[in-house]
Amino acid sequence: MPGRLQNKVALVTGAGSGIGLESSILFAQEGANVLLVDINLENAEKGAAIIAERFPNVKAVATKADVGKEEDVKAAVERAVKEFGRLDVMFNNAGIMHPEDDNALNTEERIWDLTMQINLKGVWWGCKYAILAMRENPTDEAKGLHVGGSIINTASFVALMGAATPQLAYTASKGGVLAMSRELAMVHAREGIRVNSLCPGPLKTPLLMDFLNTEEKRQRRMVHIPMGRFGEAVELARAALFLASDESSYVTGADFTVDGGLSSAYVTPL
């Protein structure tokens, strides 16, 4: 049975942990060659080693990049094309939630700027260089269509709704990711380049667990989740796999929400 991403090339940012790590592994399991990109090279290399051990039929390469720096993002995309010959899937997933991110009165400008630099500008640059690379993909002669590619941008459920426990810069950055992804989806639809946002609910990954660093804070968030549990990174990876694969060939401009029902809740079950 061919894998769901057989012969495809995927670049995943934030691949050293959480959603990015699980997605890299799942993409490789489904036949993709993967470039694992993270600011933490050691963790990205661990991910590449897991793939090499479990799936010797595909290639996985780790590289260091800070998505908050345009030249790093450009170099990472160029590396993927150099290593694997093309780019089919760009998963702009790296993001931060700064512990000093707060409300409009308390958030310092440097925290706002840092959050925007990584969470929003980083995604813009990822899209920019992915689009340039995907334009070089060949035309499918049989279908008469440009092959294009799939770009997936990790936003958040907070892009869809406000949080009463404030994290203003994070929320604004993710709202930006959502809006930008919709527009890019429209602008590049005729080129066969699909752009979708992934909107995770609260997950049991270091990003959120470090932020909700007491049991009281975790419970304050938990009461809003209809399913009564935090999500697992692999549950987002499965959604990313669908958006990456040709199974979602008619899906673009979507806000793909995977949140245990959170964004549909008025009150939650007892």
The residue ranges that bind ligand NAD (CB under 6 A) are 13-14, 16-20, 38-40, 43, 65-68, 93-96, 118, 154, 156, 200, 202-203, 205-208, 233
**The amino acid at 91:** F
Looking at beta carbons only, is 148 or 256 nearer to ligand NAD? 256
Instruction: Extract the tokens encoding 159.
Output: 């892009």
Looking at beta carbons only, is 29 or 40 nearer to ligand NAD? 40
Distance CA 195, CA 215 (A): 37
Instruction: Extract the tokens encoding 205.
Output: 């990954």
Q: Min. distance of Cβ 250 from ligand NAD in angstroms?
A: 25
What is the Cβ-side half-sphere exposure of residue 135, based on CA atoms within 13 angstroms? 7
Distance CA 131, CA 128 (A): 5
Q: Min. distance of Cβ 60 from ligand NAD in angstroms?
A: 15
Q: How many other C-beta atoms lie within 10 A of the C-beta of residue 5?
A: 25
What is the number of the residue whose Cβ is closest to ligand NAD?
18
Q: Min. distance of Cβ 30 from ligand NAD in angstroms?
A: 19
* Residue 170 annotated in active site: yes
Distance CA 115, CA 4 (A): 34
**Any bridge partners for residue 9, and if so which?**
33
Looking at beta carbons only, is 156 or 245 nearer to ligand NAD? 156
Q: Does residue 151 sit in helix, strand or coil? A: strand
Q: Min. distance of Cβ 221 from ligand NAD in angstroms?
A: 9
Q: Min. distance of Cβ 226 from ligand NAD in angstroms?
A: 16
Instruction: Extract the tokens encoding 84.
Output: 């694997």
| Catalytic residue (choose from 129, 170, 250, 266) | 170
Looking at beta carbons only, is 191 or 242 nearer to ligand NAD? 242
Query: What pairing do the DSSP bridges indicate for beta strands 139-140 and 145-146?
Result: antiparallel
- By the 8 A CB rule, do 225 and 268 touch? yes
Could you list the active site residues? 170
